[in-house]
Chain A
Amino acid sequence: MASSTRRSARPDVAGPYRRAWWRLRADRVARASAAVFLAMAVAAYLVPLVVAIDPYQQSLRNSLLPPGSEGHPLGTDHFGRDVLLRLIDGGRVSLGVGLIAVVISAIAGGLIGLFAGHFGGWLDRILMRIIDVKLAFPGILLSLVIITVLGAGLEKVMVAVGIGGIPRFARVVRASVLNTRGELYVEAARAVGASDRRIMFAHLLPQTLGPAITIATFGLATAILSIASLSFLGLGAQPPTAEWGLMLAEARKYLRTAWWLAVFPGVAIMLLVLSVNLLGDAIRDALDPRISSTAD
């Protein structure tokens, strides 16, 4: 209601982002997925501040308790550690590491796209050729190359996944720079003697924000999934870290006796990835209803 009165009162000041925000708020799927995402984020970051129980607390007497046991709503693992607390702790790992990975890809990819798009010519051709090599490295493979060089570990996986996300950002930012750089106001800025730096960062960069937000949202979903996969393979988080992919890897040994260990961390990954993906869909539609989804 508030938005509709504001719309009628000041129709001419609503910029594209405000209009996108209205569309987003009217989208039921977006509201539901945002609620799930926020609930998980709040649980991951705030619960540890309130509940003073250690997710690393071992208690071999209480190992492999099924869900619904007293004090352990989702049961315990082979060391008697509480599954729910470990899931909450793992949420902080997935979100934190995933977000930093996305920031790495956004800054590096954004700069590459900005320079390639603005200067064009041989710089553009070389940068885009390098980006094209990613075409030869499906999904997880580029991360594997980087981890081979850096070694295993959560921080290295973060860097690897971040680098893996660069090409998408570079392409999208470059495309929107190419769209904008012929605009009259950019030419005007050049005519009054603005430097390349000023044109790039003050005039071109703001225009890339919309597509970049969309890519960042999808990138977060991909990053969370990749981090979990690499940790599952033993290349990411190392024991005793409470990381969802690692928890699932450890659960394989107890598949026949403790199904809950194999189920709940996967549910957590799926909920987080699904909510971020649906939110990405909604943001894309809200920012520009014409852009369609891409396969990669």
Chain B
Amino acid sequence: MAKFVAGRLVESIPVLLLASLLVFSILHLIPGDPVDVMLGAAAFGIGDPAQHAKLVADIREQLGLNDPLPLQYVRWLWGVIRLDLGESFLRHAPVAELIAQRLPSTLELALTALGLSVALGIGMGIVAALRRNTWVDGAVMVLSLGGVSMPSFWSAMLMILLFSVTLNLLPATGSGSFDRLVLPALVLGYEGTGLIARLTRASLLEVLGREYITTARAKGLYRRIVVTRHALRNALIPVVTVVGLQLGRLLAGSIIVETVFARQGVGQLAIEAILQKDYPLVQGIILLTAASYVVANLLVDISYGLINPKIRAA
């Protein structure tokens, strides 16, 4: 098992390195001199040109922008490893600090969404499988189809229309309290809920058709016990993958959901940073999201090995 985990860890390193290379090159791919971008409009037309040129040269030297690119990359990467993501252009604070301030809110949202989509998805999937070809089954399938065809920002707006505007049950925007978490978490978890429900249904139906289930029923065991003890255990193995994939998508998905619900999270910060051209901040957030996606995939692989010993050997 240790060897299996180590192997997976090593495999994820090149992906992370290439991702970091891509994120690093953002600042060097944008048209124009990074220093001009950094100084922004404020630097134009102030003082005499010679002074401005000296300022630019000083900053270049200070930031090490005159060094060869590979050296700059290594230096940047070394900083990243020590959680030094640089300074925000506009907020005059370390990027890591800015992200850390917003992270709890986003994690709260993402984990609640994950919990909701796992609970609702598996529950709905089981009900649909056991009531196969009834209206319950049909309703679950329509709901889950909506999850993949409705843009999340639109389902968010419909939720606000229904629960905030019409029924006046929950607040539409903001963050901090539990009632402000319900709608965003439901929306963020919706796509995952649908996927998990469909997969659980299909997988449970397949397992229920196996012979050991018939044997268990023939022994006279209650259907409830057969489903929960015998069938579900095997049926939920493929579901683990989808849950893990959702984990990775939630951070990216929170970008949209946080914007609609005006939550003070990392996703909202990302959009602000892109619109304001605050590149170090964008770099930091994208790197964080990419890394968490890789880690989520890694966890899926490892949990797979734990659940199914056959995969460990392969």
The chain A residues found within 8 Å of chain B, CB to CB, are: 129-130, 132-133, 135-141, 144-145, 147-149, 152, 225, 228-229, 232-235, 245, 248-249, 251-252, 255-256, 259, 262-263, 265-266, 269-270, 273-274, 277, 295-296
Contacts and interface: CB of A to CB of B under 8 A. Distances in A.
B151 interface: yes
Interface stretch (B70-78, B80-88, B241-249): B241-249
A42 to B, nearest CB: 21
A269 B154 contact: yes
A140 B255 contact: yes
25 contacts: A130-B18, A132-B15, A135-B297, A136-B18, A136-B291, A138-B252, A139-B253, A141-B252, A141-B286, A141-B289, A141-B290, A145-B22, A145-B26, A148-B286, A233-B255, A233-B256, A233-B271, A255-B157, A259-B161, A263-B158, A266-B150, A269-B151, A270-B149, A270-B154, A295-B195
A229 B191 CA distance: 15
9 nearest A-B residue pairs (beta carbon): A266-B154, A136-B19, A274-B149, A136-B290, A133-B18, A138-B252, A262-B157, A149-B29, A138-B249
B165 A136 contact: no
Contacts of A273: 149, 151
Contacts of A144: 255, 270, 274, 282, 286
Contacts of A132: 14-15, 18
Given A145-B23, A262-B157, A295-B242, A129 B14 contact: yes
A105 B151 CA distance: 22
Given A235-B274, A274-B149, A138 B18 contact: no
Given A144-B286, A266-B150, A149 B30 contact: yes
A270 B279 CA distance: 34
A248 B259 CA distance: 13
B169 to A, nearest CB: 15
B293 interface: yes
Contacts of B145: 274
B153 interface: yes
Given A139-B249, A149-B30, A233-B255, A129 B153 contact: no
Contact of B248 (A138, A232, A248, A266): A138
B56 interface: no
Interface residues of B, number: 51
Interface in B250-301: 251-253, 255-256, 259-260, 270-271, 274-275, 279, 282, 286, 289-291, 293-294, 297
A144 to B, nearest CB: 6
A74 to B, nearest CB: 16
Contact of A228 (B151, B161, B259, B291): B151
Contact of B160 (A145, A233, A255): A255
A140 B293 contact: no
Interface string B15-29: 110110011001001
Interface in B8-48: 14-16, 18-19, 22-23, 26, 29-30
A295 B195 CA distance: 9
Contacts of B282: 144, 148
Contacts of A255: 157, 160-161, 165, 172
B148 interface: yes
A252 B157 contact: yes
Nearest to B148: A277
Given A255-B160, A259-B165, A136 B16 contact: yes
Given A148-B279, A228-B151, A233-B256, A266 B14 contact: no
Contacts of B165: 255-256, 259
B154 A248 contact: yes
A145 B289 CA distance: 12
B19 A137 contact: yes
Contacts of A249: 153
Contacts of A269: 150-151, 154
Contacts of A147: 274
Contacts of A225: 151
Contacts of A136: 15-16, 18-19, 290-291, 293-294
